[in-house]
């Protein structure tokens, strides 16, 4: 496994790998088993002849909360070990100064999918995501890229970006990896208090119950209200949103035969957790 810290090192390292399948997995570091599943999927997609590139970059541009950025966990040595164990060929670990010019003046904006769910309460977040991912796509020039479904809105927006900008990359969505108790794995989980860590798996339990209600034909508004009410009964928990939307457009689901998405974001103390479940009545 090779590690590149500058754009020049990355280009030089990737030059011999051109012409074959090249699969990118962008991460912000603090890697865990959820990231490992993305890397293993990328390794399988690349096959013996292709290569896997992982980026480890805590992107400051996508943080709307300076405190969240400051407390985001950083484990670079462990990240490299995990990448090596998962068969990654190249790790790109740039600094913010490497990724961004001091006088940068170009931005990116998505104007439909990013106006709801997390985008409604995190202004500028997805503009920062699109900018850094577009830069990574330009630098790596992969044939494929893998993103997790836990960040479902991000996945939908990046698929739209690739479509609208004619970027020749195939986007793959990877299933959510969960702990034995059902909690979606996240780098932020380590910041939960013991009490909130014990309570956090209730998100998954409520999503599964909501899925049964959806299959039974209950109205979306009633389903969302029930999930929110149950979550906010937990001490120290407040909901950002509970929404049932079309899985592709992320707006109101009007066709019961299309795949739907029930998405939740809630604060457990000062830690914001997200989760979701795909729903179908067909």
- The catalytic residue among 32, 35, 125, 196 is 35
DSSP 177: P
Please give the Cα distance from 170 to 41 (Å, whole number). Answer: 14
- Contact of 258 with 249, CB cutoff 8 Å: no
Q: Is 35 a catalytic residue?
A: yes
Please give the Cα distance from 279 to 282 (Å, whole number). Answer: 9
Cβ neighbours of residue 232 closer than 8 Å, sequence gap 6 or more: 238, 239
Q: Which pair of structure tokens corresponds to residue 255? A: 């066709």
Maximal C-alpha separation, the chain: 56
Residue with tokens 């699969």: 23
Listed in sequence order, the DSSP H helices in the chain are 7-14, 33-46, 66-71, 76-85, 96-99, 118-121, 125-140, 152-164, 194-199, 202-215, 220-231
Q: Which residues are catalytic?
A: 35
């Amino acid at each position: 496994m090779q590690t590149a810290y500058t754009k020049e090192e990355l280009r030089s390292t990737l030059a011999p790998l051109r012409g074959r399948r090249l699969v990118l997995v962008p991460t912000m570091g603090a890697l865990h088993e959820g990231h490992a599943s993305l890397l293993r999927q990328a390794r399988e997609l690349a096959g013996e002849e292709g290569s896997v590139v992982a980026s480890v970059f805590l992107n400051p541009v996508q943080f709307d909360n300076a405190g969240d950025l400051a407390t985001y966990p950083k484990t670079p040595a462990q990240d490299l070990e995990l990448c090596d164990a998962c068969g990654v060929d190249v790790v790109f670990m740039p600094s913010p100064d490497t990724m961004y010019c001091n006088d940068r003046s170009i931005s990116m904006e998505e104007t439909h999918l990013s106006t709801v769910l997390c985008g409604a309460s995190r202004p500028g977040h997805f503009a920062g995501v699109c900018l850094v991912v577009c830069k990574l796509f330009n630098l790596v020039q992969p044939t494929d890229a893998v993103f997790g479904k836990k960040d479902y809105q991000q996945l939908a927006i990046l698929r739209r970006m690739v479509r609208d900008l004619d970027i020749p990359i195939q986007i793959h969505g990877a299933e959510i990896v969960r702990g034995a108790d059902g909690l979606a794995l996240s780098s932020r989980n380590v910041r939960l208090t013991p009490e909130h860590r014990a309570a956090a798996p209730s998100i998954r339990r409520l999503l599964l119950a909501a899925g049964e209600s959806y299959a039974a034909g209950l109205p979306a508004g009633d389903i969302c209200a029930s999930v929110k009410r149950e979550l906010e009964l937990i001490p120290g928990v407040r909901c950002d949103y509970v929404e049932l939307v079309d899985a592709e457009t992320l707006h109101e689901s009007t066709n019961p035969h299309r795949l739907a998405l029930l998405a939740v974001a809630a604060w457990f103390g000062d830690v914001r957790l997200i989760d979701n479940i795909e729903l179908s009545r067909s």
